[in-house]
Amino acid sequence: MESGSGSLDKVFAITGNPNSGKTTIFNQLTGLHQKVANYPGVTVEKVAGTVRVNGTQFTVIDLPGTYSIHPRSPEEKIACEILCGLRPDTPRLQGVVCVVDSTTLERNLYLALQIRELGLPMLLVLNMADEMKERGGAIDQQQLAAQLGVPVVSTVGNRGLGVSRIRDFLARQAALDHMPICVGIPSGRPDPPEVRDRYHRARQIVAASQTERLRKPGLQDTLDRIVTHPVLGTALFLAIVIVVFQSIFSWARPLMDGIQVLFLWLSGWVKAHVEVPLLRSLLADGVLAGVGSVLAFLPQIFILFLFIALLEDSGYMARAAFLMDRVMKKIGLQGKSFLPLLSSYACAIPGVMACRTIENKNDRLATMMIAPLMTCSARLPVYTLLIAAFIPQTRVVGNLISLPTLALLGLYGLGFGIAVMVASLLKSSVLKSQATPFILELPPFRLPSARTVFNTIWNRCRFFIRRAGTVILGISLLLWVLASFPNTGDIHSSAAGSIGRVIEPVIRPLGFDWRIGIGLITSFAAREVIVSSLSTIYHVQAGDTGLTLVETVRMQMTPLTAVSLMVFFALACQCISTLAVVKRETNGWRWPLFLFAYMSLLAYVCSLIVYQGGKALGLA
């Protein structure tokens, strides 16, 4: 190993129980210098970041939160392999930072003791120091360090207190010349005596180092009682869901309008100042129409991820799983399927990856197979466009909810309802399994830290923006070329027109014309691309009409077609990235192909029923 002045190839890992504040500490250490490499082609497993200390840099990997490093679930296996230096894609570790929640020291020490047994240089971080103090607890750090044989620091993660001492540890370890070696590699499953021994040791350590015991938290109990109350809790759950959806529509509106106005203005500027007609059309109809129409949805995605991050970090999400377990069990799944499914409302990719926390293989597969039916944020642009075009802004149910919100809720409900049916079908046939234990920690309610929430949202939005700048820009350009050439002045005889007409017979029964057909094809790259595609096609076809996309769509589609199209989007698996991540997670083509086949069939049949049924009823 070269002994350079500390560099990115010096790698550390952060471990800890879930809810110990691990992510918060990681964010404090790395700031925005993070790489969430979780998309096909890059390593799925790790969130890695760069830490700078006095001009030198190291890499820190945020391992999945676990209670034990005995490899049982795929997540624990990854954590264990990285810790032991067994993964070819990750360099051996220079040291480990183990974050523990000081308010549940004994339980957290179980993992800390396991990690210490690996023999790597280790730092114990006593996080949640403020909460412990508030509840009258105190820990003798020196005594704890002596008992454990590793250095100890105490921190308040969300306020960044004590984090500099973690940096000092990293710098100190990185300065060492030799590469530490992991000595104890855990086997498949610990036996009961082993667990007992470790807990026995943990109890001794706590007895020796905890100088004041903690009082029971009073406020927590009250909150917990309300949130899990049969009536109040359920009402709160529904209220939260409704508030999330309502705000996606009303709060995001001004921002979205702003972005649209900006792009209209840019487009107008291009039209006025670019002389060459072809270039003018390329910029205005290809680039700006395509990218602008998708970027306009950034505010909605921002709000959705904001809510998910808040619910998760505050500790509410676990209560939701607690409330939902019984219901999930009915359809053959479990409370733990709830989080992957909820994440899938943002995006199926993290959702599918979150399935790793489900130990039972069949439960995991069943959850993965229905995750893409949850209404992901990429569907929102499509829904928003069509709803805005065809559903009037009337208020219903005593002025409480607007009709568009109701329509949106209906679409979310459709995806969910079908998912429930698919899950029970799968679980009662090919994926039948024994009921699995459901063990879930209900963490204390905590004020989410602005920084962690912001980081989560930033990582998601960055991904979305990057996609708008690459995939969506590329497709918009390609489409513009296809729609503009051969240049006869009529899009119908262009290359895109020809392709569209080839597939038109297949989709005609669903009420879709060739332009929607092109949109459908392009949306395989990403669902929201259909919005930019339609925008580009209508633009090229009609030239600049001065109309917004919503107004254009209103003229070009019938309401029944719009409904059929929304149903199609609700059910079809138009997302190559999702299929790729399912292939990765299941190690083969079988499940992604099955996923694609069943969802496409479902979408086709349901749209067919909607359109033909609607026509038969004279709705046209």
Ligand X SMILES: Nc1nc2c(ncn2[C@@H]2O[C@H](COP(=O)(O)OP(=O)(O)O)[C@@H](O)[C@H]2O)c(=O)[nH]1
Nearest one of 405, 410, 422, 375 to 570, comparing CA atoms: 375
Contact between 108 and ligand X per CB under 6 A: no
Contact between 64 and ligand X per CB under 6 A: no
Give Cα separations from 602 to 407, 493, 605 (angstroms): 20, 32, 5
Contact between 384 and ligand X per CB under 6 A: no
**If contact means CB under 5 to 8 A according to the sort of partner, which of other proteins, ligand X, none does residue 196 touch?**
other proteins
d(CA 535, CA 552) in angstroms, rounded, equals 9
> Segment contacting ligand X (CB under 6 A): 152-160, 266-274, 297-305, 552-560?
152-160
Q: Which 295-324 residues touch ligand X, going by CB under 6 A?
A: 313-314
DSSP-assigned beta bridge partners for residue 99? 16, 125
d(CA 138, CA 78) in angstroms, rounded, equals 34
Give Cα separations from 310 to 190, 303, 353 (angstroms): 36, 10, 20
d(CA 152, CA 143) in angstroms, rounded, equals 10
Helices in 371-402 by DSSP H: which ranges? 380-390
- The least distance separating ligand X from the CB of residue 132, rounded to whole angstroms, comes to 9
Considering only 90, 293, 344, 449, the residue that binds ligand X (CB under 6 A) is: 449
Contact between 578 and ligand X per CB under 6 A: no
- The least distance separating ligand X from the CB of residue 20, rounded to whole angstroms, comes to 4
Q: Which residue is nearest to ligand X (CB)?
A: 157
- The least distance separating other proteins from the CB of residue 26, rounded to whole angstroms, comes to 21
Which residues bind to other proteins, rule: CB under 8 A?
67-68, 70, 72, 103-104, 106-107, 110, 189-192, 195-196, 199, 214, 224-225, 228-230, 233-234, 318, 321-323, 325-326, 329, 335, 435, 437-444
Considering only 68, 103, 127, 535, the residue that binds ligand X (CB under 6 A) is: 127
**If contact means CB under 5 to 8 A according to the sort of partner, which of ligand X, other proteins, none does residue 438 touch?**
other proteins
Stated length of the chain: 620
Contact between 49 and ligand X per CB under 6 A: no
Give Cα separations from 203 to 105, 184, 279 (angstroms): 9, 22, 73
> Segment contacting ligand X (CB under 6 A): 122-130, 279-287, 517-525, 593-601?
122-130
3-state secondary structure at position 192: helix
Which distant-in-sequence residues (6+ apart) come within 8 Å of 75 by Cβ? 64, 66, 356, 357
In the complex with other proteins, the residue whose CB is nearer, 58 or 110, is 110
In the complex with ligand X, the residue whose CB is nearer, 35 or 329, is 35
Contact between 154 and ligand X per CB under 6 A: no
HSE, CB side, 13 Å, CA atoms: give it for residue 75.
22
Contact between 23 and ligand X per CB under 6 A: yes
d(CA 84, CA 65) in angstroms, rounded, equals 16
Interaction site with ligand X (CB under 6 A) = 16, 18-24, 65, 127-128, 130-131, 156-158, 313-314, 446, 448-449, 452
